[in-house]
Chains A and B, each alone.
Chain A
Amino acid sequence: MSKIKAENVNVYYGSKQALFDVSIDIAEKEVTALIGPSGCGKSTFLRCLNRMNDVIEICRVEGSIKMDNLELNSRKLDVVRLRENVGMVFQKPNPFPKTIYENVAYGPTIHGIAQSKEEMDQIVETSLKKAALWNEVKDRLDEIGTGLSGGQQQRLCIARAISVSPEVILMDEPCSALDPIATAQIEELIDDLKKEVTIVIVTHSMSQAARVSQKTGFFHLGKLIEFGPTDKIFKNPDNQQTQDYITGRFG
């Protein structure tokens, strides 16, 4: 079942066009991987899905992106509600310089989700458990989040993202700053999370895309070259460019 349907998305940074007529169907409760060489527009596309491009002054998005039939690329859209539903995890772990507890409680607080202290404690605990971080930090929830290791920080950011129970989580190269062990933990986590949420992940690592995703899209020079089941893309792609990229001939 389709969760997000993008049609003819064009993105411009000032006069420079970064995405050309991208159309893609993202299925519900699946992991969709976006791969491609640096500067190919995959992160730009990802940022369209929660309107993070609004932060960039010179960025302009055209085309239609629908989530459950709600037009995302519209002036009338309530961006705050959208981002409550579409969480994001960034390339570099970016916990706030606050305590671990406050980091996770951030989203529920600003959206007024928890009615009482007990409820908030419950949300923080569930989120940290889902992010596979609870056992490591349960005794030091009042320590500063930036004091954790890189992998723990990234899992804290994932806990922060899932604290508001989003329907979609966007991940922008979530493991590129992490070591192999932390990467394996995050990948395992992605596998667990997809039972409940739709995940779109941008990654530079093709093996990671092959391991975690069900669908893969290959971007090159701002165009979506090929999109399909991960097995097919990696084993028997239709497009020669995809074939070349997968086999490491460029990129």
Chain B
Amino acid sequence: MNLILVTFIILLAFTSYYFGRKKALVIQSSQRLTALPKFYGYYLAAWCAAPALIIFALWSVFEPSIVKTFILQDYTDQNLTKNELQLIYTKVKALAAGTYTGDITNFLDESANKYIQLKGIANSAKVAIILAILIFSLSFAYRSVQKNDRMREPVEIFLKWVLFVASLGAVLVTIGIVFSLLFEAIRFFQAVKIFDFIFGTHWYPAKTFVRDGQPDPELMKDAFGAVPLFAGTFFIAFIAMCVAIPIGLLSGIYLSEYAGRGIRKYAKPIIEILAGIPTVVYGFFAALTVGPFVKEIGNAMGLEVSAESALAAGAVMGVMIIPFISSLSDDVMTAVPQNLRDGSYAMGATKSETVKKVIFPAALPGIVGSILLAVSRAVGETMIVVMASGLAANLTMNPLESTSTITAQIVVILIGDQQFGDPKTQSAFALGISLFIVTLLLNVIALSVVKKYREKYE
């Protein structure tokens, strides 16, 4: 029903676009148009679709809760809790849909009938109202087309609002995500002191699990110390950057300054393919190929190496990040004006001197920005770490041992069945928000550095 209605509105909007354009051509024969004919079409189409779709959306949002209130009115005298009422409503809905399998009481049956009835009324009302709105707004718009009112401005304003709503949506979703993280994190910090979280050195949330009851507060104190996770996260990111920065930068320099047009044409897309490989693939590459390889080499040298070493995970993560750094630094170095290169070559500087003394310093802010973006990507990377670096949160600086990261722990905490309201589950949100703050800071710094670089040449 809803699908038909929306399709109908959209089809009608298309029709009115063509109709409006035709009408404009008719008007053109007798008087001067106020805008191009297509604007007459846009005007009619916008007036046709926008009001009807807005009302439709609002209706769809509010209808269920209104129907629910009507149904549950009959149960107000029974002194039921919120959860029990919810259960009853679910039963009623299931009964109405014919999927209910429990005992059917008279009362429930009555409610179900009432539900079906209400739904029917609501549906007919919706169709009637939307048709009325369509007729009203279309005739209003058609009248101003006939009067040959100004058409361009309303269409432009309408487009501005469409764009505004789209960006508003994006912003609201972001804010929503941040707040949902924040509220759960706050609940977590009610159970665990923020001091214990930030400075504690033991991460072992599983030991707080107690069947049917509140865990011992003494246990809580020592179970949620995030230091090993922060350390592990930055340690693995550090290993990744040790791989990615030299290779990425050098290949960026090669691509922008040394490679001929032919090589560049093929090499750049190939490097960028690295960025297109799903991280899961990197993950099992790290876990099944690089990890055992590192272990074997280590064993051959007489070292104790874990099969899930930080080194393997970090190295593979570094490979994943190479294209970010090489591609971005290639772009910023290519953007350095050619006349600076000419100036340097004309002084008798060689290619490497020009790169070292002119191109690289001029591009440095952009390169730093690209590296910071890459770091924030490394800090937030999950899949490789989950698969290749183990899940035990060891506080270690030995790249050959296994360690764990914030992201990996969030995965561990939230896969499978969880209990909401349990500090163990909520700790994931606390970890999430701390990760978010770190990457946000890195991104802000990176963007401001990049912006500073742009100002220099414009």
Contact = CB atoms under 8 A, between A and B. Distances in A.
A110 B349 contact: yes
Interface of A: 50, 52, 55, 57, 79-84, 87-88, 90, 92, 94-98, 106-107, 110-111, 146, 157, 160-161, 164
A52 B349 CA distance: 12
Interface string B331-369: 000000101111111111110010001100110000000
B353 A157 contact: no
A47 to B, nearest CB: 9
A111 B348 contact: yes
Contacts of B362: 96-97
Contacts, number: 68
A94 B340 contact: yes
Given A88-B342, A110-B357, 14 more contacts: A55-B345, A80-B349, A80-B350, A82-B348, A94-B343, A95-B343, A96-B343, A97-B456, A98-B361, A107-B347, A146-B456, A157-B343, A164-B347, A164-B348
A57 B265 CA distance: 15
Contact of A97 (B345, B350, B361): B361
Contacts of A110: 347-350, 353, 357
A96 B350 contact: no
A251 B231 CA distance: 70
A53 B345 CA distance: 11
Contacts of B346: 50, 52, 83, 87-88, 90, 161
B375 to A, nearest CB: 26
B261 interface: yes
Contacts of A106: 344, 347, 349, 357
18 contacts: A52-B342, A52-B346, A55-B342, A57-B260, A80-B348, A83-B345, A83-B346, A83-B348, A84-B347, A88-B346, A90-B346, A96-B358, A97-B340, A97-B362, A110-B348, A110-B350, A111-B348, A157-B343
Contact of B347 (A57, A81, A160): A160
Among A82, A88, A110, A111, the one with the most B-chain Cβ atoms within 10 Å of its Cβ is A110
A16 B272 CA distance: 35
A90 B339 contact: yes
A96 B340 contact: yes
A247 to B, nearest CB: 34
A90 B347 contact: no
A-B interface, 6 closest residue pairs, ranked by CB to CB distance from nearest: A83-B348, A88-B346, A94-B339, A94-B343, A84-B348, A107-B347
For this complex, into which size category does the number of interface residues on chain B fall?
Answer: 20 to 34
Contacts of A98: 361
Interface of B: 260-261, 337, 339-350, 353, 357-358, 361-362, 456
B359 to A, nearest CB: 10
A145 B119 CA distance: 75
B10 to A, nearest CB: 53
A98 B347 CA distance: 15
Contacts of A80: 348-350
A177 B400 CA distance: 61
A6 to B, nearest CB: 19
A90 B456 contact: no
Contacts of B342: 52, 55, 88, 90, 94
Contacts of B357: 96, 106, 110
Nearest to A85: B348
A120 to B, nearest CB: 15
Contacts of A83: 345-348
Among A50, A80, A97, the one with the most B-chain Cβ atoms within 10 Å of its Cβ is A97
A57 B339 contact: no
Contacts of A82: 348
A84 B349 CA distance: 9
Contacts of B349: 80, 106, 110
Contacts of A94: 337, 339-340, 342-343
